[in-house]
Each structure stands twice: as C-alpha cells, then as structure tokens.
C-alpha cells in the first residue's frame, strides 16, 4: 500500500521520467510471454518496469523529492565487458557500458495526416547524429522508411552519408526498383522491418504508466523519444540482449 502512496508522490512532483527496461532476453516479468507486436511489447515493458521499480522503493522517501525519475532496475541491466566488445554488434547505449555504438537508425515521429516527411524535418535530427559520429560515439548512421527521392536529398545534403535505410515490409513486399538502384550505386544497405509507423501512441504510453501503480495522474505526461537497442553476437547472429530506453516529460504542449 505504501508503495502506491510513494509512487503517487514521486510522480506528482517529477517533471522527467527516464526508464530503461533492462535486457528483455530471458526476462521473466513480461506479462505476455509472446507480445503480438513491438507496440504491445513496449507498452508491457514500461508498465512492468515501472511497477517493479515502484515496488522496490524504500517505504520512507527523502523530504526532497527528485524532479527526474531514473527508473532502472540494476540487476536487469548488464554492462558489456571490454573482452566481449569485439564479438558484439551494439545498436545502443551508455547504460550498456560501451563507448561507441556500431549503428543507430533514426525513425522520426509520424507527421499529422496529409503531411509528408521532408528533408527539413530530417536535417536537425541528422545533424545530431553526425556530431555523435564525429565524436566517435556512433560508427554508422541510418534512416528508416525514406523513399528514393528523400533518401537522395538527404544523401546529397548530409556531411556523413546514411549507411542504411530500413524499408517497412507492410508497405512493400518487393523493394522499389528506383530505391534499390540508388542504394546499390551509393553503397547504402537496404534493410527490412515490420514496426508500426508509431511505435507507441501517446494514449498507449499513458495507459502503460497508469497501469503500473494506482492513482497516478498521467494526463500531462508525454513521451519524448524511445530508443530500442540490440546486442548481437556477430559470428552467430544470436541476440544477446535487447531492450528499450524511454524518455518522457510532464507539461502541456501549449
């Protein structure tokens, strides 16, 4: 009972939530052992991680409540040892104890109905990624769901060129020939994925948070970004670890 009261106190006071699900491989606390989609998996993970974190809280809180809730369960988060690093391909992140990611693929949030993604939308995001490559935090950067025209515009404008472009299997069973030809000419790897356009909706995020502890006020909380990572054993293609890092803030958009 006490953890619900403390969770409510913390949540009412905080303005930022950082959540790391930890490694989902062999994770026993997922409600659904086989989530039907990445969206369902992420929603389940947010709820499960928050629930566990609230339950593990000390019964008495400090008088000074934090503005940032850092929701990580240490025993579920394994850092990579330097000896292992050569054998692994890592797609994220500082929490995993590595200094450089092998690849980062960016998927901008969906735009309102009728609006198309343009180079102007991508430029600020790409510049951030380029600075991370220049500071040697990322080795390669890629895009998601760009058609040939937009991929070409980005390629021509960018200082550091995209090394890959993911194409959604739901939108095309066969790769568009113009995209294939462009990617081949400029050595861009075409990958496939089957994620929904929006990995988790605003309502889905709020529902997950609400489900973690009773009486939480979630209306003002909004998701800022989600990072999904995977660590793959290069020689065997086996997933050693995967998980999500979620960042959310409280405050209206007005």
For residue 219, give its domain range.
Answer: 1-78+198-227+242-254
The token pair that represents 230 in the structure block: 């995977």
86-137 pLDDT, tens digit each = 655 445 464 444 567 788 888 887 788 888 889 999 999 999 999 989 999 8
**Which of 35, 33, 34, 31 minimizes the C-alpha distance to 48?**
31
Asked whether residue 114 is assigned to any structural domain, the reply reads no
Asked whether residue 252 is assigned to any structural domain, the reply reads yes
High-pLDDT (> 70) share of the chain, %: 82
C-beta separation of 55 from 105 below 8 A: no
Asked whether residue 209 is assigned to any structural domain, the reply reads yes
- For residue 55, how far is the Cα from the chain centroid? 24
* pLDDT value of position 77: 58
Asked whether residue 70 is assigned to any structural domain, the reply reads yes
CB neighbour list of residue 228: distance below 8 Å, 6 or more residues apart: 38, 42, 91, 92, 199, 242, 243, 244
152-192 pLDDT, tens digit each = 999 999 999 999 999 887 766 678 899 999 999 999 999 88
High-pLDDT (> 90) share of the chain, %: 32
Asked whether residue 137 is assigned to any structural domain, the reply reads no
Asked whether residue 44 is assigned to any structural domain, the reply reads yes
Asked whether residue 92 is assigned to any structural domain, the reply reads no
Asked whether residue 86 is assigned to any structural domain, the reply reads no
Kindly write down the DSSP assignment for every residue of 69-104, as one continuous string: EEEE-GGG--PPPHHHHTTEEE---GGGT-S-EEEE
Place of tokens 């699900």: 21
C-beta separation of 39 from 200 below 8 A: yes
Kindly write down the DSSP assignment for every residue of 119-165, as one continuous string: HHHHHHHHHHHHHHHHTTSEEEEEEES--HHHHHHHHHH-SS--SEE
d(CA 101, CA 235): 18
pTM of the predicted model as reported, rounded to 2 decimal places? 0.81
Q: 241: exposed, middle or buried (C-beta count within 10 Å: 0-12, 13-18, 19+)?
A: buried
What's the domain count of the chain?
Answer: 1
């Amino acid at each position: 009972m006490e953890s619900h009261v403390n969770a409510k106190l913390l949540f009412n006071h905080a303005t930022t939530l950082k959540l790391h699900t930890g490694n989902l491989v062999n994770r026993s606390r997922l409600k659904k052992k086989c989530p039907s989609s990445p969206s369902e998996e992420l929603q389940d993970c947010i709820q499960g991680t928050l629930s566990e974190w609230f339950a593990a809280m000390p019964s008495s809180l400090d008088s000074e409540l934090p503005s940032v809730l850092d929701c990580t369960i240490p025993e579920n988060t394994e850092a990579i040892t330097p000896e292992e690093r050569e054998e692994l391909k890592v797609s994220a992140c500082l929490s995993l104890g590595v200094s450089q990611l092998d690849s980062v693929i960016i998927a901008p949030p969906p735009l309102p109905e009728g609006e198309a993604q343009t180079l102007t939308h991508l430029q600020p995001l790409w510049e951030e990624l380029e600075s991370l490559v220049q500071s040697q935090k990322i080795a390669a950067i890629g895009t998601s769901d760009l058609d040939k025209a937009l991929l070409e515009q980005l390629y021509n404008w960018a200082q550091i060129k995209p090394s890959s472009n993911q194409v959604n299997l739901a939108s095309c069973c066969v790769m568009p020939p113009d995209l294939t030809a462009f990617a081949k000419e400029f050595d861009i790897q075409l990958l496939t994925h089957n994620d929904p356009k929006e990995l988790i909706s605003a309502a889905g995020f709020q529902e997950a948070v609400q489900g973690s502890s009773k009486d939480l006020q979630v209306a003002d909380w909004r998701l800022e970004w989600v990072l999904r990572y995977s660590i793959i054993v290069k020689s065997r293609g086996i997933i050693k670890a995967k998980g999500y890092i979620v960042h959310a803030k409280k405050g209206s958009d007005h």
